[in-house]
Amino acid sequence: MSKQPFVFSYQSVLKEEFAKADTDGNRILDLDEFVSILEKYGIEADKAKEVFETSGNNGISEDVFIDYVHKSNKLDSLMEEYTRMFNSIDKDGNGYITPEELKQDWIEKGINLSDKSIEALIKNFDMDDDKNITIDEYLNALILRYFRSKH
């Protein structure tokens, strides 16, 4: 039985992060909380004060926070970077990474992984059990790991 395809939802991850940043639990971020979480993700916080003031200095709601992160282009830049990485591994350009392509990529990096290690790596990405990694599987896994690594 194949796994259900995983669809990354940056919104659910950001909702979790919002809740952690909301230290007083009032579901509103004050300016310090807002700036702190933006810096955690490497998102420019230079306009944070302006966004905060636009809210009437009443704080940043979860929706405003998610919208700000989305508009920061951080997600877009990650997608571009990870797509370039995927394309460099997908040598034949067919839209998926085979075990052979993955093994060759590691060899080019000076690391000779066993077939078992390559199989284990593939399993970490492969959501439909076809023994290959599609661009969607690759992006979903890496972007989720990026957001999770910032905990």
Q: Provide the token pair at 148.
A: 């999770």
Using alpha carbons only, how large is the chain's radius of gyration in Å? 19
Average pLDDT of the segment spanning 59-63: 89
Is 10 a residue whose pLDDT tops 80?
Answer: no
Q: What is the pLDDT of residue 9?
A: 62
| Cα–Cα dist 14/7, whole Å | 15
Residue 29: count other Cβ atoms within 10 Å of its Cβ. Answer: 26
Average pLDDT of the segment spanning 78-96: 93
Q: What is the pLDDT of residue 7?
A: 52
Average pLDDT of the segment spanning 24-39: 87
Q: Which of 112, 82, 114 is nearest to 97 (CA)?
A: 82
Q: H or E stretch including 133?
A: strand 133-134
Percent of the chain with pLDDT over 90: 38
Question: Mapping DSSP to helix (H, G, I), strand (E, B) and coil, where does residue 29 land?
Answer: strand
| Tens digits of residue pLDDT in 107-126 | 999 999 999 999 999 998 99
Q: H or E stretch including 96?
A: strand 96-97
Average pLDDT of the segment spanning 16-29: 89
Q: What is the pLDDT of residue 108?
A: 94
